[in-house]
Structures are given as structure tokens and as C-alpha cells.
Structure 1
Amino acid sequence: MAYVTVPKDLSKVKTKVAFNLTKRQIICLGAALLVGLPFFFLLKDSAGTTLAAMAMIVVMLPCFLFAMYERHGQPLEVVIRNIVQTKFIRPKERPYQTENLYTVLERQRKLEKEVSAIVKGTSTKGAGSRRRNKA
């Protein structure tokens, strides 16, 4: 009796369209054929069959990679975008910064103390200067 494994997470199951390939894979492989075959036939007469075949493989390779490569469920363009962002766009050092509640409260207490000292200082200065002026 044959056993079939059933994945627990059905969202990761991809629907196959034809030849056990997904729609994305069929489109990318079709694009590879549209680019690679004319390139091969144009180079075959001038460069030779072997060199033309190698050049065709190099030209078709990005399409194959976009069709087949996946890492952690992400296609190649998402992986490339993430690499470019982390290497070139985002800052290299991202320091971990927290705001300590106790330092905020301490700073607020010092400010309130300073404000109350200023208020008390101006009211006593003003009263003292008035007394001196009257005398």
C-alpha cells in the first residue's frame, strides 16, 4: 500500500498547472526559451555550437533561478531585495535603544525641582529688592 504525505500547513501547498509546474515556473521557463533559443541560433554559425550552447545557458540561467529558487518560502526577487536593503540601503549599525522609565522620572523630578527653585527664587528676590528700595 502506498502512503502519501500530507503537509500540516496547506497554505504552503502550491497548485500545479501543467507538467507538475506552477504558473510562475511555466512563465519563467517560457521566458527563458524565448530569450535563449534565438540567442543560440544567432551565435551557432559564428561562434560554434559549443560556445553558443554555453552562452545560451548563461543567458537562460537567471530565468531558471527566478522560476525554481526559493528560500524560506520566498522567491528569488524577494531574497535579492532583502539582501540589497540590508547591505546598501539600511544603516549598518542599528543600536538598541530603550527609554528607561526611572531615568525619565528622575529627569522630570529634577526639572520640577529646578522650576520650583526658580519660582521661589524670583518671588523672594522680588520681595527683597522691594524692601531695600523702600528703605
Structure 2
Amino acid sequence: MAYVPVPKDLTKVKTKVAFNLTKRQLICFTGGALIGVPLFFLLRGPVGSSAAAMCMMLVMLPFFMLAMYEKHGQPLEKIVGNIIRVTVIRPKQRPYKTNNFYDALERQANLDEEVYDIVHGNQKLAAPAVRKNRGKSCAAGQDQEKTVPRRQKAD
């Protein structure tokens, strides 16, 4: 009895259109033939048949590579695009940056103090007292009346 190999992952199976070739392969081979064959006939007279055939092969080789080469499920143009992006477009050194939550809270607290100092320009001496007393309770010996409130109630 004949055995037919069936791949375990059916997503990697590509549908064949004609001549046991995929649509991508047909398009690339057609493009290569449309450029390479006329080039051969144009160069055959001036440079000879063997040199014209070599030029035709060199011109058609990128089309063949685009049609056939695939690595890790990616076609050649994606691989070349990734190589160009890594070597040319992006910087060589990419430092690891994090957004520290506590650093963000500290920046916000500094901005709040700066806004408070701007709004209450005449009470610049009282603003550090607020900073020192932040987080302390009244039971720790701090008097509520000595601290400057952040917001005043509307009259």
C-alpha cells in the first residue's frame, strides 16, 4: 500500500495553481522571463550567445530568489527588509528604558510642588513645610494649623 506524507501543520501547506507552482512563484518567474528573454535576444548579437546567456541568468536570478527562497516562513523581501531595518534605519545601541512607577509619582509630586509655588508666590517659605510634613500624622506632634493646605475652600 502506498503512503502519502501528510504534514502535521496544515498552515504551512501552500496551494498550487499551475505546473505545481504557487501563485507567487508563477508571478516571479513570469516577471523574470519578461525581462531576461528580451535581454538575451538584444545582447546575443553584440556580445555573443554565452555572454548574453550569463547576463540573462544574472538578471533573472533575483526573480528566482524572490520566488523560491523562504526562511522561517518569511519570503526574501521581508528578510531583506528586516536586515536593512536593523543595520541602517535603527540605531546600533538601543538602551533599555523603563517607565518606573515610583519615578513617575516623584515627578508628579515635584510638578505639584512647582505649581503650588507658582500659584502661591508669596508663600515660598511655607511650601517646604508642606513637603516635609507630607505623610506624617497629627499624632506625630505636627500641628495641622501650621501646615499650608493645598486647596482653599471657596467662600
TM-score of the superposed pair, with normalisation by structure 1: 0.75
Is 1:73 matched with 2:73?
yes
Q: Residues of 2 paired with 1:119 and 1:98: CA distance?
A: 30
Q: Report the RMSD for the aligned CA atoms in angstroms.
A: 3.0
Q: Residues of 2 paired with 1:67 and 1:75: CA distance?
A: 8
Which residue number corresponds to residue 141 of structure 2? none
Which residue number corresponds to residue 33 of structure 1? 33
**Sequence identity percentage:** 56
Which residue number corresponds to residue 22 of structure 1? 22
Q: Residues of 1 paired with 2:45 and 2:9: CA distance?
A: 52
Q: Residues of 2 paired with 1:69 and 1:120: CA distance?
A: 70
Structure 1: runs of 5 or more not aligned = 125-135
Give the letter for the 1:63 counterpart. Answer: F
Q: Residues of 2 paired with 1:8 and 1:120: CA distance?
A: 71
Give the letter for the 1:120 counterpart. Answer: A
Alpha-carbon distance, 1:119 to partner: 4.8
Which residue number corresponds to residue 128 of structure 1? none
Q: Residues of 2 paired with 1:90 and 1:119: CA distance?
A: 45
Give the letter for the 1:49 counterpart. Answer: S
Q: Residues of 1 paired with 2:17 and 2:129: CA distance?
A: 82
Q: Which has the higher contact order (CA 8 A, sep 6+)?
A: 1
Q: Residues of 2 paired with 1:120 and 1:24: CA distance?
A: 73
Is 1:120 matched with 2:129?
yes
Alpha-carbon distance, 1:28 to partner: 0.6
Which residue number corresponds to residue 5 of structure 1? 5
Structure 2: runs of 5 or more not aligned = 117-125, 131-144, 147-155
1:21 aligned counterpart, secondary structure: coil
| Structure 1 consecutive aligned stretches of length 4 or more whose deviation exceeds 2 Å | 97-105, 117-121
1:56 aligned counterpart, secondary structure: helix
Alpha-carbon distance, 1:120 to partner: 2.8
